Amino acid sequence: MEHTEGQKLKEELFNSHKTGWEGMTEEIRNAVFKFAEEYMDYLNTSKTEKEIVKNSKDILVKNGFVDLLEKEELKTGDKVFFVNRARTIYAAVIGENALEDGIRMVAAHGDSPRIDLKPKPLYEDSGLGLFKTHYYGGIKKYQWTNIPLSMHATFVKSNGEKKEVVIGEDENDPIFTISDLLPHLASGQMDRKLKDGVQGEELNIVAGSMPYEDEKVSEQIKLNLLKLLYDKYGIKEVDFMSSEIEFVPAFKAKSLGLDKSMVAAYGQDDKVCCYTALRGILDIGTPKNTAVCVLTDKEEIGFCGVTGMESRTFEYFLTEVLNKAGQNRPNALEKLLHHSKVISADVDGAYDPTFPSSFDKMNSCFIGKGPTMVKYTGSRGKSGASEAPAEFVAEVRGIFEKNGVTYQSSELGKVDAGGGGTIAVVLANRGMSVIDCGVPVLSMHSPYEITSKFDVYQAYKAYEAFYRG
């Protein structure tokens, strides 16, 4: 049927966001599902920031990247990586243009909300061996009780010997869990506000219940648990103080829905952008400007610390690249930063039709409509945001449009409903042009987050196009 003038005009002028699945060819659909399988495999072995770095490094090495510190000099087309203290990794492909012309960077974070142990965690009470915890990142605490948890531990002894221990990921492993009160006795708890339903000091992990057979000693359950750790790993109680013991959901990543169109998994904030940013840099050939992929740590607790995005180790990495490319001179680093263009690849909260009152529907991002560009984050009047200049937003949009990337734009939630921030502000403060652009996530920061397979694939396409420029 012939379209009316009004219909044609509306099509021309309106900003309509269709779901990405509509009109998709079978070839693309197959590519989307294949990519999602590979992504889920990566998630299942990469639940902590250290596992993200280790597995991403393996992928880089398989694709011809070498350790920057092993290179004497760098030339166009070289592919290198740099690991900061096993928790952050930077990868680069040296481009044709001078480094002072700026880099094209996509930066994601490998850390996700979780439950950490305190430095003195192990105790026994009333027939149970328990661990005291301190949660990491922004969580709704009640969501973390009564689910299977796995332990991902790094113990370092005072002689420097390191023990990596993972329990709960293999099908035959035991798991851990945080107990919650039975409803029959919870009338007092049920009167608490939801945010206090389970409190921080109530997130205790059940770790065992069998005593060491010796009536002459006290704390027989704790002793038995320490003996198990000592016999298998040589770990004593004092070693907990120099350890990082992270408890994460033991669930595997799964396809979600009758149509299998989504991924349900722990830690997709921001491992979905880690994987897509990493895959994107593998296939770019020799770019015009040097391409850099950053998988950083400590985003969830404020970007700080020696392995966070604020760490000057990032400048050390860039300076080593300048040195080894024979391009360092006074001001070279500042020029490089000033001319650089960055995507802060972080997820955004997708519109949830079950909770419409927390969103401005017009300015939300939706599952299945591609990665979302977020011009500013912040809260209460954009406070704390590094708002991207309109010129830069237009440039990135242009790259996406030229490369057939489906994208949307959004801000997080209703005005004054809350808010959040990303590493964009840290990069902008260094003098780099930066915009947030990542995958919409439902149930963000919960133990089991949801993404669309279409969006995951489009994020990969978006980042790859951006590296190329």
Q: Choose between 142 and 303: whose C-beta lies nearer to Mn ion.
A: 303
Closest CA to 88 of 337, 321, 310, 332: 310
Question: Which residue's CB is nearer to Mn ion, number 207 or number 444?
Answer: 444
DSSP state of 157: -
Q: Is 97 helix (H, G, I), strand (E, B) or coil?
A: coil
> Which of residues 284 and 367 has its CB atom nearest to Mn ion in the complex?
367
Find the shortest distance in angstroms from Cβ 437 to Mn ion. 12
> 136 vs 155, which CB is nearer to Mn ion?
136
CB of 440 to Mn ion, least distance (A): 12
CB-nearer residue toward Mn ion: 246 or 269: 269
Considering only CA atoms, which of 137, 133, 134, 71 is closest in space to residue 109? Answer: 137
* Nearest distance from C-beta of residue 223 to Mn ion, angstroms: 39
Note whether 253 and 264 are within 8 A (CB).
Answer: yes
Q: How far is the CB of 213 from Mn ion (least distance, A)?
A: 46
Q: How far apart are CA 302 and CA 422, in angstroms?
A: 8
Query: Closest CB to Mn ion among 297 and 346?
Result: 346
Any idea of the CA torsion for 63, 68, 73, 78, to the nearest 10 degrees?
A: 20
CB of 410 to Mn ion, least distance (A): 14
Instruction: Provide, rounded to whole angstroms, the least separation between the CB of residue 22 and Mn ion.
Output: 28
- Of 137 and 469, the one with the shorter C-beta distance to Mn ion is 137
CB 345, min distance to Mn ion, A? 9
Q: Quick one: which of 437, 439, 435 has its CA closest to 367?
A: 439
Please list the residues that pair with 186 across neighbouring strands.
Answer: none
CB under 5 A: which stretch of 22-30, 178-186, 246-254, 340-348 binds Mn ion?
Answer: 340-348
Query: Least distance in Å: CB of 265 to Mn ion?
Result: 14
Piece of the chain touching Mn ion by CB under 5 A; list 122-130, 146-154, 160-168, 345-353: 345-353
Are 85 and 286 in contact by the 8 Å Cβ rule? The answer is no
Query: Which residue lies nearer to Mn ion by CB, 51 or 269?
Result: 269
Other C-beta atoms lying within 10 Å of the C-beta of residue 125? 11
Virtual torsion, Cα 48, 53, 54, 55, nearest 10 deg: 90
Stretch that binds Mn ion, among 24-32, 248-256, 328-336, 338-346 (CB under 5 A): 338-346
Q: Angle at Cα 387 formed by Cα 384 and Cα 388, nearest 5°?
A: 150
Distance between CA atoms of residues 257 and 406, nearest Å: 22
Nearer to Mn ion (CB atom), residue 49 or residue 346:
346
Helix (H) or strand (E) holding 378: strand 378-379
- Cα gap 58→65, rounded to integer Å: 9
Residue with structure tokens 């021309």?
12
Residue 285: CB minimum distance to Mn ion, A: 29
Give the H/E segment covering residue 269. Answer: helix 268-282
Nearer to Mn ion, 100 or 269 (CB): 269
Considering beta carbons, is residue 49 or 270 the nearer one to Mn ion?
Answer: 270
- Our CB check for Mn ion shows the closer of 436 and 464 to be 436
Radius of gyration of the chain (CA): 24
Contact flag: residue 455 with Mn ion (CB under 5 A): no
Task: By CB under 5 A, name the one of 78, 346, 411, 436 that touches Mn ion.
Answer: 346
Closest distance to Mn ion from the beta carbon of 83 (Å): 21
| Whole-angstrom distance, CA of residue 147 vs CA of residue 149 | 6
Q: Which of residues 256-275 bind Mn ion (CB under 5 A)?
A: 269-270
Q: List, in order, residues 6 or more apart from 252 with CB less than 8 Å away.
A: 40, 44, 265
**Angle, alpha carbons 234-237-240 (nearest 5°):** 90
Q: Which residues pair with 79 in a beta bridge?
A: 93
State whether the Cα torsion 348-354-358-360 is positive or negative.
positive
Interface with Mn ion by CB under 5 A: which range of 65-73, 186-194, 227-235, 341-349? 341-349
Tokens of 170: 């293999």
Q: Of all residues in this chain, which one has the CB nearest to Mn ion in the complex?
A: 270
Minimum distance from residue 138 beta carbon to Mn ion (Å): 7
The β-bridge partners of 123 are: 130
Site size for Mn ion (CB under 5 A)? 3
CB of 459 to Mn ion, least distance (A): 13
Binding track over 269-308 against Mn ion, x by CB under 5 A: xx--------------------------------------
The dihedral of CA 87, 93, 98, 104: what is its sign?
negative
Tokens matching residue 254? 């799964």
Q: Can you give the binding site for Mn ion, defined by CB under 5 A? A: 269-270, 346
